[in-house]
Structure formats: structure tokens, C-alpha cells
């Protein structure tokens, strides 16, 4: 049987550079000769991407109930785990995922105010003990990342999704919840200052990967 792969997640607020750095991390691991599966949440499979579209939509006339939002996040996650993440890890591939359950604790817990104990119950039910081996938390003040996103919106003509329409207090609560989780689990998390220029962020990522990945090979 092949050695089980490792599960690496990138987390952080909106526009901190997760997608950009998922590509960097995956490329770095591939250069070490590893098979890498890149993916994201909510989403990652056709069905889970359909749930993502529901979660981000701004076109419904009714507000999305916070418990419904939480359950949709975990429904998408259950599908993603069954169809993509578990099969990849079992065949020995490494999975690099743009957001995972820490985002649920940050957004639905910190942002929406859902009791973390209720989220933890769903986490156990859906993940059956599975957790990331390493979480790279890209941290920066939400005001600064909002400026980055405004720049992207101007150049790429994108619109704000349902989460991006939230107010500043929501994003500070999200950041606070992420930092609390990182403090509680320092062996799993690496907190990276994402406000620096991209080449400096990637130098730090490379250093963290070199230190953390070597003992697993
Ligand atoms: N959500 C949730 O509520 N609960 C959950 O359990 C999960 C998710 C899993 C969609 O996620 C929403 O789902 C999310 C939380 C919620 N909503 N929000 N907000 P998403 O991951 O798609 O959302 P996002 O954070 O808005 O993604 P994003 O806008 O694509 O941001 P990003 O991936 O972190 O950033 P990026 O695209 O890599 O970079 C943004 C721009 O900055 C881009 O132009 C880059 O070239 C530039 N960039 C990147 N790094 C730098 C540096 N260092 N300097 C300068 N410029 C940079």
C-alpha cells in the first residue's frame, strides 16, 4: 500500500493571497517529486462547486439562514472529502487546499457567531478524525486586503460575492477567530505576514515548507 499523502491547507481572510500561494505551494511540492492535487473550498468537485455557487450567490430574495449556511459548507465538504481529498491521500498524493474547516470556525463561528462547539460536532461527523497536517495562515489587516481586492475588481471587472459584502466588523471577527485557532494549535499552524510583498511572503512559505515537509518524507 502506498504511504498516505499529506494534507496542507491555506487559510486567511479575503484577498490575502491564498489562491496565488496555493499555486506556489503546489509547485514547490511538485518540484520535490510529489504528486499534488490542488483544490479549494467550498467546492473542489462539480457537485460541491454547485453548492459553492449557492453559498456565494447574491440573487435570492431571501437571506440565507446562518445554520443553513453552516450545513451547506459541511455538505460541500463531505462531497469533496469523499470524491477528491480522501482518494488522493489514500493513493499517496499530497492535497493542497484553498480553505478548509478553519474557515468555518472563522466565518460561521467568528463572523456569524455560531457556537464553535456546534461546528466541532459537525467537524467530527463529516471528517471522522481527518484534519490538515499543516495550515498556512496568511494574515493581514482586513482593511489592507480589501484594498487589494478593490484593485483586482477594477482591473478584472469582478463583482462582490455574498461574503465580500459583509462589513468591517465581520472581517475583524473572522481574523480574530483565525488567530485564536492558530494560537491554540501552534504545531499545525504557521502564521505568515501576508501584507509583505509577494516575493517575501513566498520566501517565508518556502522556509516553512522546507522545515515542516522534510520529516514527513
Ligand atoms: N467560506 C466560509 O464562510 N466558510 C467556509 O467554511 C469556507 C469558506 C471554506 C469564498 O472563499 C467564501 O467562502 C469566502 C469565505 C467563505 N468569502 N470571503 N470573503 P474564497 O476562498 O473564494 O474567497 P476569497 O478569500 O474572497 O478569495 P480570493 O478573493 O480569491 O482571495 P485570495 O485567494 O486570498 O487572494 P488572491 O486571489 O490570491 O489574491 C488577491 C489579489 O492580491 C490578486 O490580485 C493577487 O495578485 C494579489 N496579491 C496576492 N498576494 C499579494 C502580495 N503579497 N502583495 C500584493 N498583492 C498580492
pLDDT 10s digits, 26-75: 999 999 999 999 999 999 999 999 999 999 999 999 999 999 999 999 99
* Residue tagged 498524493 (cell numbers): 93
Position in ligand 1 atom list of the atom nearest CA 138: 34
Return the sign of the alpha-carbon dihedral for residues 34, 39, 40, 43: negative
CA of 149 to the centre of ligand 1 (A): 8
Q: For residues 77 and 45, is the Cβ–Cβ distance under 8 A? A: no
Residues paired with 12 in a beta bridge: 138
Phi and psi dihedrals of 167, rounded to 5? -90, 170
Backbone φ/ψ region at 12: left (φ over 0), alpha (ψ -120 to 50), beta: left
pTM above 0.85, yes or no: yes
Q: Report residues whose beta carbon is within 6 angstroms of any ligand 1 atom.
A: 14-20, 41-42, 73, 98-99, 103-104, 107-108, 148-149, 152, 163-164, 194, 197-198, 201
Question: Of 11, 6, 18, which Cα lies nearest the Cα of 212?
Answer: 6
Amino acid at each position: 500500500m502506498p504511504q498516505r499523502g499529506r494534507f496542507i491547507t491555506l487559510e486567511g481572510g479575503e484577498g490575502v493571497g491564498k489562491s496565488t500561494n496555493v499555486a506556489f505551494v503546489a509547485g514547490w511540492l511538485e518540484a520535490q517529486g510529489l504528486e499534488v492535487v490542488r483544490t479549494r473550498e467550498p467546492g473542489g468537485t462539480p457537485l460541491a462547486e454547485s453548492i459553492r455557487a449557492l453559498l456565494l450567490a447574491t440573487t435570492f430574495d431571501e437571506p440565507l439562514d446562518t445554520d443553513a449556511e453552516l450545513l451547506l459548507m459541511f455538505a460541500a465538504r463531505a462531497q469533496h472529502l469523499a470524491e477528491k481529498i480522501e482518494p488522493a491521500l489514500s493513493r499517496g498524493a499530497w492535497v493542497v487546499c484553498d480553505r478548509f474547516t478553519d474557515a468555518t470556525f472563522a466565518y460561521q463561528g467568528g463572523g456569524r457567531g455560531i457556537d464553535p462547539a456546534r461546528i466541532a460536532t459537525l467537524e467530527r461527523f463529516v471528517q471522522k478524525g481527518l484534519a490538515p497536517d499543516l495550515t498556512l495562515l496568511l494574515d493581514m489587516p482586513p482593511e489592507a486586503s480589501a484594498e487589494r481586492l478593490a484593485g483586482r475588481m477594477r482591473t478584472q471587472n469582478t463583482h462582490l460575492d455574498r461574503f465580500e459584502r459583509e462589513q468591517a466588523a465581520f472581517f475583524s471577527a473572522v481574523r480574530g477567530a483565525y488567530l485564536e485557532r492558530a494560537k491554540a494549535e501552534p504545531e499545525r499552524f504557521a502564521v505568515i505576514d501576508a501584507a509583505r510583498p509577494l516575493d517575501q511572503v513566498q520566501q517565508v512559505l518556502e522556509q516553512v515548507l522546507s522545515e515542516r515537509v522534510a520529516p514527513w518524507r
